[in-house]
Chain A
Amino acid sequence: MPEFPKSEESEKAPSIPEPKSGDLVQGTLEMLILKTLALQPMHGYGVALRIEQVSGGVFRVNPGSLLPALSRMERAGHVKSEWRASENNRRAKYYLLTAKGRNALEAETEQWDRQAAAIRRILEA
């Protein structure tokens, strides 16, 4: 079940929406999206929901940062999009991983692993 731990707050100050990707290390959002889409094509909400669920609610991705990221990735050729019927019978834009995106995911994962291992070594030294 999804949780909305900050829903009270976001109702109070809706006027100046800030992208909430500050929680995420810069650039990792795209990697997470790639990883999510590697399972199956999804629409925007599906991606957000999946990231939130898998991360145990740690990462909440709102449309203000998700859609620009998807738009950037589509422009870069990592994903492509098509309109399909969604589970509640609306037209929704589904995103699909391309071969190029798959390669990017591999490269980024590898780099992330290296960096994470390095950081861990430093923290444990």
Chain B
Amino acid sequence: MTWLRNLTTGLRSLISKPRVDSELDEELASFAASSAADKQRAGMSPREARRAARAEIGSVAAVKHQVWSSRWEGVLDNFFHDLRYSFRMMLKSPGFTLIALLSLALGIGANTAIFTLLNAILLRPLPVLKPQELYLFGPGRAAGSAGGLPDDKTQLFSYPFFREISQKTQSFSGIASLCSLQLGNYASIDGAPYTPVHIDLVSGNYFSVLGVPAFLGRTISTDDDRTAGAGPVAVASYAWFQRQFHGDPSALGKIIHIQEHDYTLIGVAQPGFFGVTVGQSTNLWIPLSMEKEVSPGWNGLNDKLFQSLYLIGRLKPGISVSQASAETNAFFKQVLRAEYVGNPPSQKELQAIQHASIELTPAERGISRLRRAFGLPLKILMTIVALVLLIACANIANMLLARGVARTREIAVRMALGASRARIVIQLLTESLLLACLGAGIGVALAWRTGAMLLNMAAPGPEPVPVNLTPDLPVLGFTLGITVVTALLFGMLPAFKATSLEFTPALKDGRGSSSAKTRGALSRSLIVGQVALSVLLLIAAGLFLHSLLKLTSIDTGFDKRNTLLFSMDSSTANLPHGTPDEIRSVHLQEQIEQRVQSIPGVKADSFAFFTFNEGGWTSDVTFNGIPRTPENSRAVANNNVGNGFFEAMGIPLVAGRAFNDHDTQTSPKVAIINETMAHRFFPNESPIGRRFGFGEDTAHSNDIEVVGVVKDAKYFGLTEDATMADYFPCTQNVGFYGNFLVRYAPGANRQLLVSQIRAAIAQTNPNILVTNVSSLEEQVDQSISTQSLIAKLSAFFGVLAVFLACIGIYGLLNYSVARRTSELGIRLALGAQSNSLLWMILRESIVLLTVGLVIGVPVALATTRILKSQLYELSPLDPLSISTAVAIIAVMTVFAAWLPARRATRIDPMTALRCE
């Protein structure tokens, strides 16, 4: 236990340093006294003896220092000493400290915020047992259900196929499945009011395959998932359990009422587990056997062609992915061949099976559509903020260099008094580290909530995206790492520079020593680097802004102004599904439409399956008597709408008629198509009165009659190409469509309208819940929210970068003007024109600017290619963005240089000449 005693003694002597110091003093004094007494005995005079003894001991401070540094606590003591000293130095130059702290806080804060997002969305593994063994069948891009024979890279699977492969697989120790769509629903616990819940339907082995234990009770077992309708149990997520029951274990066994069925709460999953989809947060897991009960309109446990499940397998130890992939694909084709096609199979079916495949993708970090949407933008932002931090480092390094020159004398004195170079370098680095740590502290405080805010800006919606953004070990490690690296980056060079000085001239005046020249070269190259990086950032920002401008000026085809969009949920209204009675839903919609129509200020209103950027339903169509061409066999975007839809959207009718009350469930089936569809099928004639049907089969091509043609619009997103679209009346495609669009007269009181419309809906059916109110404008903005966030952030950071570069230039020139005061004074006294002096100073900054641009612009030209996929109809070499960036940085730097230059011309020759 020697080390323990060592530790305690060390700490004790650290705490009572003054006592230890005075003891050392006394020991040394008695040493000197004994020595002097000896020398006196040897014949020296008392005075001589004392002198000799003192000389023998040398510097008392140095001896004490050596004793201290022979012990471990000496290092700590030095560190504390350095810290105190650093604090004093920081307080001595508040301007420098403020600018350095501010730029560090912004730089480190921005890096932390973006990394928090990057970590949560792209890097963090699932909190399950050995996540690296998990593989998803297919890339997990699609969600929903796919019908028809698989003929491509398959990602959604049917329940029968899941049962079969999970029993027969040799390569996986287990294969679990879950419904690819998280079901939003409403639940009532023990008769309490309904609250929204997010439900994942999962197979019985879901928890055991993932290796997620129960925190309380038990998880879902295979028995719960054996027979359809016979597993009315639910497992809650820990977070939901805490929210609903405040962690009360007696919640187990409570009854949760969802869609007219009761589920018993049997357990709570391990804390931290939110399901396997990043960006979704599951409240309840319910066995797939209850699919029909949870989701009445959308199910098919026995349907081979209702392919709606994700499959996740855990690889057996010792089996390679390629082995597993070979086995899985062979089995897949075998099942398709045996059960999915006719006997004998047609040529076409054989071809489809040929192309059908399952790609095993690592599921270590879960399934995520967020990752696809934000992956590249996040990496771009990460690069941008890293560059900003680099610029901030260059800036601080520059200021430290300048301070190093100002402190030449101080450092020379300390070295003359016996401080080693290493000691001073460490002290200077401690100053840098202190600065970086304080900056990081402020930065982390800034970043604390920024991550969530940014995510909300990137993906706005009624609810925040449930991504866990609490800082974890990787985030803290990252921040600590960049803080230390930052401190070394900006502190190292100035510290070494400051200590490599020549003593005599430095001690004499502390100015004009030979290091000033090299310092100048160093700061100049730092500024050139700053200018180059800033122009890179500005060009990127310009590209994003220009692209955003182009995006926002796209003609949507509909009028997004003066609209309200209500999202509704009917799951607690107990509407009929899949029965002839389902028309009741449509009648309910019509009642709401009529009631709202009569509110003053409402011009038009309509329910619709989709408005804009809400996903879609697409299919092939075939017109009676029209041969299929590559042009007209593309997918058509379908929509089911109310009678007032086109008026509410502001989409003009160009031929035929809109839907009206005569289009009923029993009247002939009708459709309205858009111009692109009309043109592709009928380049030269009117499509009115022509008939078409779904699919490639001509047997159905007489089903539906075209009664009208409307102008094209955007359907899924702003950047889509011309898309064929058709619309059907809700009466002929029954269902409750939760989108209710209202167009109001310009200038109407929106607030009042919203409450009146809410009241009208509640009057019609109080069980219909309005879950969100937005507008077409918001829908359009949301569809480009990522682009607009990137544009705004990159512009902010670009401007920040230029600002920092300008501070650098200002500082350098200001210093050089101050140093050359006497020279400038002489020049003025000898008759130099103030204009030529101005030019002399400005010239220096223009040289730096030019060199920076000469480096920065080609680098930008070479690298902006990576941004191509994020730019809309804009070349990464867009001359407008590049020239604007160059112009901005030129104007800013010249302005920054002009301030000190003007000061140079105002020097009074007399004062200047006296100054040194």
Quote the shortest CB–CB distance from B425 to chain A (angstroms): 18
> B36 CB to closest chain A CB, in angstroms?
9
- Give the docked Cα–Cα distance between A19 and B6 (Å): 25
Cα separation A122 to B30 with both chains bound (whole Å) = 45
Instruction: Work out how many contacts link A and B, with CB atoms closer than 8 A.
Output: 105
CB–CB A91/B66 < 8 A: no
Tell me whether A68 and B2 are in contact (CB under 8 A).
no
Complex Cα spacing A84 to B306, Å = 96
Residues of B within 8 A of A68 (CB): 66-67, 69-70
Verify B62–A86 contact, CB threshold 8 A: no
B41 to A, closest residue via Cβ: A1
Contacts of A16 in B (CB 8 A): 418
Q: Are A65 and B66 in contact (CB under 8 A)?
A: yes
**Given A45-B34, A67-B24; A17-B62 close (CB under 8 Å):** yes
Shortest distance from the beta carbon of A35 to any chain B beta carbon, whole Å: 20
**How far apart sit A10 and B56, CA to CA, in the bound complex (Å)?**
7
Task: Tell me if B298 is interfacial: C-beta within 8 Å of chain A.
Answer: no
Contact between A92 and B58 (Cβ–Cβ < 8 Å)? no
Residue pair A45, B418 in contact (C-beta under 8 Å): no
Question: Size class of B's contact patch?
Answer: 35 or more
Q: Which residue of B lies closest to A100 (CB)?
A: B2
Q: Give Cα A121–Cα B418 distance, bound, in whole angstroms.
A: 43
B572 CB-CB contact with A under 8 Å: no
Q: A64: which B residues are within 8 A, CB to CB?
A: 57-58, 62-63, 66
CB distance from A90 to the nearest CB of B (A): 5
Complex: how many Å from CA A46 to CA B27?
A: 12
Give A42-99 interface residues, CB cut-off 8 Å to B: 43-46, 48-49, 62-65, 67-69, 71-72, 75-77, 86-88, 90-93
Q: In the complex, which residues of chain B have a beta carbon less than 8 angstroms from the beta carbon of A77?
A: 2, 5
CB-defined contacts of A49 to chain B, threshold 8 Å:
34, 38
Task: Kindly state whether residue B55 has any CB partner on chain A within 8 Å.
Answer: yes
**How would you classify the secondary structure of chain B's contact residues: helix, strand, loop or mixed?**
helix
B residues in contact with A48, CB < 8 Å: 31
A65 CA to B69 CA in the complex, in Å?
11
| Option from B6, B34, B66, B67 in Cβ contact (under 8 Å) with A92 | B34
In the assembled complex, the CB of B190 is this many whole angstroms from the nearest CB of chain A, namely 68
**Least Cβ distance of B726 to chain A in Å?**
89
Q: How far is the CA of A49 from the CA of B37 in the complex (A)?
A: 12
B26 adjacent to chain A (CB < 8 Å): yes
Q: Which single member of B30, B66, B418 contacts A15 (CB below 8 Å)?
A: B418
CA distance A92 to B59 in the complex (A): 20
| A117 to B412 CA separation, bound complex (whole angstroms) | 49
A70's nearest neighbour on chain B, judged by CB, is B67
Q: Chain A residue with minimal CB distance to B57?
A: A63
Q: Interface extent on A, as a size class?
A: 35 or more
| Bound CA span A16–B9, Å | 30
User: In the complex, what residue of chain B is closest to A44 when comparing beta carbons?
Assistant: B31
- Contact of A88 with B63 at beta-carbon distance under 8 Å, contacts A62-B57, A68-B69 already known: no
A22 at the interface (CB under 8 A from B): no
A72 cross-chain contacts in B, Cβ below 8 A? 70-71
A34-B66 Cα distance, complex, nearest whole Å: 20
Q: Which of A14, A65, A76, A92 contacts B27 (CB 8 A)?
A: A92
Contact across chains for B71 and A75 when beta carbons are under 8 A apart: yes
Given A44-B31, A86-B30, A1-B52 contact (CB < 8 Å): no
Residues of B within 8 A of A113 (CB): none
Contacts of B66 in A (CB 8 A): 19, 64-65, 67-68
Alpha-carbon distance between A124 and B34 when the two chains are bound, in angstroms? 43
- Across-interface contacts of A26 in B (CB, < 8 A): none
Q: In the complex the two chains form, is A7's CB within 8 Å of B5's CB? A: no
In the complex the two chains form, is A92's CB within 8 Å of B30's CB? Answer: yes
Q: Per a CB cutoff under 8 Å, which of A1, A4, A45, A75 touches B30?
A: A45
Query: Is B35 engaged at the interface, CB distance under 8 Å to the other chain?
Result: yes
Contact status A10-B55, CB under 8 Å: yes
Whether a CB of chain A sits under 8 angstroms from the CB of B33 is yes
A63→B63 contact, CB < 8 A: yes
Q: Which residues of A contact B418 (CB under 8 A)?
A: 15-17
The B1-38 residues at the A interface (CB cut-off 8 A) are: 2, 5-6, 9-10, 23-24, 26-31, 33-35, 37-38
Q: Within 8 Å of chain A (Cβ to Cβ): is B554?
A: no
CA of A115 to CA of B549 in the docked complex: distance in angstroms?
83
- Least CB distance, A89 to chain B, in whole angstroms: 10
Could you say which of B10, B24, B27, B34 contacts A87, with CB atoms under 8 Å apart? B34
Query: Does any Cβ of A come within 8 Å of B42's Cβ?
Result: yes
Interface pairs A-B: 3 shortest CB-CB:
A68-B70, A17-B58, A45-B34
19 A–B contacts, CB within 8 A, in A order: A2-B39, A2-B42, A11-B55, A43-B31, A45-B35, A62-B58, A65-B66, A68-B69, A68-B70, A71-B71, A75-B6, A77-B5, A86-B33, A88-B34, A88-B37, A90-B29, A90-B30, A90-B33, A93-B27
New contact pairs (13) apart from A19-B66, A75-B10, CB-CB < 8 Å: A2-B42, A7-B56, A11-B55, A44-B27, A49-B34, A62-B57, A62-B58, A63-B58, A67-B63, A71-B67, A71-B70, A71-B71, A72-B70
